[in-house]
Each structure stands twice: as structure tokens, then as C-alpha cells.
Amino acid sequence: MRRAALPRRLPFSRGLARGLAGKPEAATSVADLFQTMQYTSAPESVDVANAWLDSHQRQFGFFVDNAWLKPEGRATATSTRPSNGAVLAETLQAEAGDVDGAVAAARRAQAQWGALSPHARSRHLYSLARHLQKHSRLLATVESLDNGKTIRETRDADVPLAVRHFYSHAGWAQVRSLP
């Protein structure tokens, strides 16, 4: 069976061609699109990520025992955008006592977590997965700003993979509760 030849020009609408190339006469074929390599705006906005970082004063401490802690006198690490060197945030660096406190809090929480039924644990893990999904665009944008990966990689691979891990663990916890 013989395949039909592809048309030289694809049936792009004028609106699509305008949106992709910015000019009505440009980008009316796939070859034109590859030559111009112009894109429309992405739904992931740096403004939203910057507003979120600003809401935290671009300073992060430790999340321990369900509370943000910012002990005095700790060294900080600066997180910068690899693309331009702009400061994203400052994070506190833990000392041995901070780590010991976090470990003690985790051990206290383990008793309650261990007492939950597998089904109850799965509900918590499903909730975490849904919250990651709900905020996936923000997480992908912040991750892209922080490590320099393309938004496509963080949005389409990194964040969905984290979500899938939580869904997977939630599913396994739920399976454990079956007879």
C-alpha cells in the first residue's frame, strides 16, 4: 500500500500562524516554524513563582514537627537562577542540634503514623499526591528557576514523577489493607 505524500504547506489557521510567529505571513508551514523557532507564551509564569517566593520573604528555614523554624545564628545558602545569577532565596543551613531535633520529631511522629491503618496511611499519601498536582505549575516553575532545567522538563517529567511516586506508595499502602 502506497502512502500519500504530505502536503508542502499544512493547513494552519491565520490565528495560529500569527500566534506562533508574530506575523500573519510567517510560519505557515512546519519548515517555517523550524526556521523561526518562535513560541507563544507559556502558562507557567515567573511572576507567580516570584510572588510565592516574596510571600515567604525569600527566606526558608526548617519544616519540623509541623512548623517552620528559623533558629538564630545559622549560616545561610543562597539559591540563584543559573540563567542570570539573580537571587531566588536564602535557606538556613542546619547544625547538628537542628538535625537531632528533626530526628526526634520524626521518631515521635512515627508512633502515630505506625498506629494508622494502611488504608488511613494511603489516604494521607493520596492527599499529598493531589496537593502536588494542584500546585504542579508553581512547583515546576520554581524548580526550573532554581536548577536551570527547561520548564518542559520540570513540568512534564520531574513534578509528575514525584506525583506518581506518592500515588504509587499510596496504592501499595491501600493494597496492604486488603484481606
- Domain membership of residue 1 (yes or no) is no
Would 6 be classed as within a structural domain?
Answer: no
pLDDT tens over the chain, length 179 residues: 555 554 454 444 444 444 444 444 555 677 776 777 666 566 788 999 999 999 999 999 999 999 999 999 999 999 999 999 999 999 999 999 999 999 999 999 999 999 999 999 999 999 999 999 999 999 999 999 999 999 999 999 999 999 999 999 999 998 887 76
Q: What pLDDT does 2 receive?
A: 58
The enclosing domain of 108 has a CATH number of: 3.40.605.10
Strands (E) in the chain, as ranges, are 59-60, 62-64, 67-69, 76-80, 87-92
Does residue 169 lie within any of the structural domains? yes
User: Structure pTM?
Assistant: 0.72
Residue 13 located in a structural domain: no
Q: Flag whether 134 is in a domain.
A: yes
Number of domains in the chain: 1
Examine residue 171 and state whether it is found in any structural domain, yes or no: yes
Name the residue among 164, 168, 160, 102 with its Cα closest to residue 135.
160
Q: Is residue 73 part of a domain?
A: yes
* Full residue range of the structural domain in which residue 155 is found: 46-176
Cell (9 digits) for 138 = 508553581
The pLDDT of residue 17 is 43
